[in-house]
Homo-oligomer: A and B are copies of this chain.
Amino acid sequence: MNIEMIEAARRRLNGHLRQTPLLSSPFLDEIAGRKVYIKPECLQHTGSFKARGAWSAISAMEPAVREAGVMAYSSGNHAQGVAWAAAQHGVPSVILMPSDAPALKRANTQALGARVVLYDRETEDREAKGEELARDLNLTLVRPYDEPQVIAGQASVGLEIAEQAAEAGISRADVLVCCGGGGLTSGIALALEAHAPGLRARPVEPEGFEDVARSLDRGEIARNSRMGGSICDAIVTPQPGNLTFPIMQRLCGPGLVVSDDEALYAMAQAFLRLKLVAEPGGAVALAAALCRKDQIEAEAVIAVISGGNVDPVMFTRSLITHAEAV
């Protein structure tokens, strides 16, 4: 992984992926007690940043390999990203999804042209099952985060943040990133290292699934004790990646942890103040900006909203719980 690889990925993405804007609201600044900027990747194609990494990986394949087809295992956002990027490249895709993935993500993945195969998140090893499927069908597996070309694609978010921060006159800030396996976080960290050294990436995770925060704290990879029970389905992974962890260890600030209720609160604030739809796992970085002010020293924060693929029932729950009195 190096910055040349990231910049090459961005050139492949150019014209196919969206450059998302950098937003803000005086109401959020007031809650956070500092200037808050938002990088809304929920506005990306397929509703999450995952389309970037998927496009990067698929566009980097040898044509003959790509044409045989690709596969992925994913709770839903990587699934949609791979399904979309494969369809745009005109190649088939098979997606292995957990049986408890939000209905919207499953329906969208199928509508985007993929064949969906389900597995049980609690009892089955998705990596083993994915590799078996790939082998049997001669598909190339696109890993969700521990894959250099995927990290390089996600890193394009960091390149955009570096440019947009410079335009907005932001030279020092913590960049809060919703973190599962660490593909987005490590990619952003690499891009910032090269182009915005005053900006520091920090992973944000849901309470009870803070494997990255604990791993950074201990200096070695720690696993989550369970895989179910969070509403932040998009960012629940067993442990940081073997590729992503050393990058995060070298470049990231300490991890931040928020509760499910704080994620719902951040979703309601994104609705009220930004007119954006965030999913729980995509809202944890904004939640940390709003609810963990004592653990942030930087005068400004940039929070990535990583995805917006949320079921209406869950979204309504955030409004009923946290926006009713408005």
Residue count of chain A within 8 Å CB distance of chain B: 36
**A315 to chain B: which residues have CB within 8 Å?**
271, 319
Per-position binary interface string of chain A over residues 296-312, scored 1 when its CB falls under 8 Å from any chain B CB and 0 otherwise:
00000000000011011
Q: For chain A, residues 135 to 185, give those with C-beta under 8 angstroms from any C-beta of chain B.
A: none
Q: Which of A269-283 contact B (CB under 8 A)?
A: 271-272, 274-278
Q: Does A18 contact B (CB under 8 A)?
A: yes
| Set B47, B103, B268: member contacting A275, Cβ < 8 A | B47
Give the chain B neighbours of A27 by CB distance below 8 A. 108, 111
A311: which of B42, B274, B326 is its contact (CB, 8 Å)?
B326
* Cα distance, A23 to B18, chains bound together (Å): 9
- This protein's copies in its complex: 2
Interface string of A240-279 (1 = CB under 8 A from B): 0000000000000000000000000000100110111110
A219 at the interface (CB under 8 A from B): no
- Residue of B18, B20, B47, B275 near A42 (CB, 8 A) is B275
Which of B23, B40, B104, B320 contacts A326, CB < 8 Å? B104
In the complex, whether A14 has a CB less than 8 A from a CB of chain B is no
Beyond A43-B276, A271-B315, 18 extra complex contacts between A and B, CB < 8 Å: A18-B21, A18-B23, A19-B21, A21-B21, A27-B111, A40-B275, A43-B274, A43-B275, A47-B275, A103-B326, A104-B326, A107-B326, A275-B278, A276-B276, A312-B319, A312-B324, A315-B319, A316-B316
12 residue pairs from A and B, CB less than 8 Å apart: A20-B21, A21-B43, A27-B108, A104-B272, A104-B326, A107-B326, A275-B277, A275-B278, A275-B309, A311-B326, A312-B323, A315-B319
